[in-house]
DNA sequence: GCAAAAGTGTTCCCCATACACCCATGT
DNA sequence: ACATGGGTGTATGGGGAACACTTTTGC
């Protein structure tokens, strides 16, 4: 019975929506291995830490954000021999869905950290981070179907249109604004009125809402549509 | 930067349906820590193994089963300091849904392995295995809603009633046999006819079916009903 | 014949979709 | 005035739930 010794790291898939695109937080690696390449933020788990604590610590160190600003959950664990040239390293990946806060990237570690559109970085990441990122995006997509987590991408107060933009961006679809409005405001505990109104661009002012108390939606409120081939706004087809 | 050394184990949540109950494979621990208590089967990850390989190896060693007999996926990873008195041990839990095959428990390690109804063991397991088991059951429950994995609990050929019993057992509900039959046989790629018929108890012979090619069901075929309080056959209430 | 389980047909109703229409603002 | 986005009302259709009914076996 070999009791091989491992190092254990946490890696973060931090997703947000900026400029109408799904973006992921990446760091440019300053040291080998994979020096100069983009990678998911992360680091070694300390001796007295639970895994989730280590992930939350890294989140604070790298971005200044708090897990409670958005949503935070364990994603999956990766331990293929050879995935890290430094030795036998198992990494526990965490997924966070965050609002596009004016990121106070101040922290020291955060040098070289940046939001990047996921479409522009797929295939270019260090280690097995492409695989981890793909799993995180897939998880986020499916979570939107049966949980109220779309609000995790929104700031504390948001409009129905903001929330709709989340689904449209993550799923790459157009949703009918009128039916969307009814479903969201009608769903029990999904959102609750915050009182104010705001004018985003042109047109009638929109009501502001806060996250509601719901933690799950049964039946699922929003369902990822099975797209007819021409419905993608960018004209591309699903494989 | 402390690079603490960890041991890494895999633990298996093996679920099946026997005697109309959801059952989990447990081993009685022969050595400390937690000697004499029930625990999930598992073991240390070897130096040259991927995590999934280690889990599949443990499955073979402990039960003689193959991952491909049913369904197999990573569940979650647990690494709370102090969860194992032997030191800093991180465990990657895997979930398997298996048919009630005439288990060839022959293997040496399998001494003391047994299927136990999940209702009878909750709260009594070693380490943090109660938490892991609860997470596995919850994952299995929700997977049935939007995947065709209920067939993983069935032998290669099964009747619609067999499949219905899976949902009824895992969800603790009664489902209408007539509507269930139509939904299952009508869903694209969920099941396909195997040709034969079989008489289980009394009544008209039932058609046999095999697993179909579908890997996902969009929209979800079966939905866990939100139960009116009196609908549980055993009369108990959901918390 | 009778009980029991398999399987089909039919009705009703909810709810998602589609879309006409009105509201409130900036220019 | 008119363009633009916010929000409501309403008709239509598909699918799930409920259940009457037929089929095929064992006893």
Are A21 and A36 in contact, with CB atoms under 8 Å apart? Answer: no
> Which residues on chain A are in Cβ contact (under 8 Å) with B84?
none
Looking at every residue in chain B, the average pLDDT score rounds to 89
Looking at every residue in chain A, the average pLDDT score rounds to 89
Residues of chain B with CATH 3.90.79.10: 7-144
The three-class DSSP label of residue B105 is: coil
Is A173 in CB contact (< 8 Å) with chain B? no
Q: Would you state the pLDDT for residue A53?
A: 98
Reported as a single tens digit per residue, the pLDDT across B59-81 is 998 888 899 999 999 999 999 99
Reported as a single tens digit per residue, the pLDDT across A198-215 is 998 889 999 999 999 999
Interface of B with A in 119-138 (CB under 8 A): none
Chain C bases under 7 Å from protein CB?
Answer: 3-9, 16-21, 23-27
CATH superfamily of the domain spanning A7-144 = Nucleoside Triphosphate Pyrophosphohydrolase (3.90.79.10)
Q: Would you state the pLDDT for residue B32?
A: 84
Does the structure show a pLDDT above 90 at A189? Answer: yes
Does the structure show a pLDDT above 90 at B176? Answer: yes
Exposure of A119 in the CB half-sphere (CA atoms within 13 A): 9
- Confidence band of A103 (pLDDT split at 50, 70, 90): low
Q: Which nucleotide is nearest to A197 (CA to C1')?
A: D6
Give the rounded percent of residues in chain A with a pLDDT score beyond 90: 75
Q: Would you state the pLDDT for residue B105?
A: 59
Cite residues whose beta carbon is less than 7 Å from strand D.
A 159-161, 177-179, 181-182, 185, 197, 200-207; B 176, 178-179, 183, 197, 199, 202-205, 219, 221, 223, 225
Reported as a single tens digit per residue, the pLDDT across A15-56 is 999 999 999 999 998 888 889 999 999 999 999 999 999 999
More confidently predicted of B201 and B131:
B131
Pick the CATH number of B147-239 from 2.40.128.630, 3.40.50.620, 3.40.640.10, 1.10.10.10: 1.10.10.10
Would you list the DSSP string of B15-41? EEEETTEEEEEEEE--SSSSTTSEE--
Reported as a single tens digit per residue, the pLDDT across A148-186 is 999 999 999 999 999 999 999 999 999 999 999 999 999
E strand intervals along chain A: 7-18, 21-28, 38-39, 42-44, 71-78, 89-97, 113-117, 191-198, 206-211
Q: Would you state the pLDDT for residue A62?
A: 84
- Confidence band of B154 (pLDDT split at 50, 70, 90): very high
As given in the structure block, the two tokens for residue B64 are 């003689």
> Which residues on chain B are in Cβ contact (under 8 Å) with A77?
51, 74, 77, 92
Q: Would you state the pLDDT for residue B153?
A: 97
- Confidence band of B104 (pLDDT split at 50, 70, 90): low
Q: Would you state the pLDDT for residue A227?
A: 59
Distance between CA atoms of residues B234 and B239, nearest Å? 14
Residues of chain B with CATH 1.10.10.10: 147-239
How many angstroms is C1' of D5 away from CA of A200? Answer: 9
Does A88 sit within 8 Å of B47, measured CB to CB?
Answer: yes
> Which residues on chain A are in Cβ contact (under 8 Å) with B80?
50-51
As given in the structure block, the two tokens for residue B46 are 């070897």
> Which residues on chain B are in Cβ contact (under 8 Å) with A7?
3-6
């Amino acid at each position: 019975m070999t009791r091989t010794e491992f190092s254990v790291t946490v890696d973060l898939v931090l997703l947000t929506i900026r400029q109408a695109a799904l973006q992921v937080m990446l760091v440019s690696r300053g040291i080998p291995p994979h020096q100069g390449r983009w990678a998911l933020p992360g680091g070694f788990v300390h001796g007295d830490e639970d895994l989730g604590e280590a992930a939350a610590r890294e989140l604070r160190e790298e971005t200044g954000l708090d897990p409670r600003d958005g949503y935070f959950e364990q994603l999956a664990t990766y331990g293929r021999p050879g995935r890290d040239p430094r030795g036998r390293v198992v990494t526990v990946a965490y997924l966070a869905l965050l609002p596009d806060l004016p990121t106070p990237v101040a922290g020291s570690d955060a040098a070289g950290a940046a939001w990047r559109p996921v479409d522009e970085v797929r295939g270019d990441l260090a280690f097995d981070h492409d695989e981890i990122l793909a799993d995180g995006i897939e998880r986020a997509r499916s979570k939107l179907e049966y949980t109220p987590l779309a609000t995790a991408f929104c700031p504390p107060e948001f409009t129905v249109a903001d929330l709709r933009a989340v689904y449209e961006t993550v799923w790459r679809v157009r949703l009918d604004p009128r039916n969307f409005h009814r479903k969201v405001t009608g769903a029990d505990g999904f959102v609750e009125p915050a009182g104010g109104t705001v004018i985003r661009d042109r047109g009638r002012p929109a009501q502001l809402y806060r996250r509601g108390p719901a933690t799950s939606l049964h039946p699922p409120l929003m369902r990822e549509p099975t797209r007819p081939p021409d419905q993608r706004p960018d004209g591309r087809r699903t494989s």
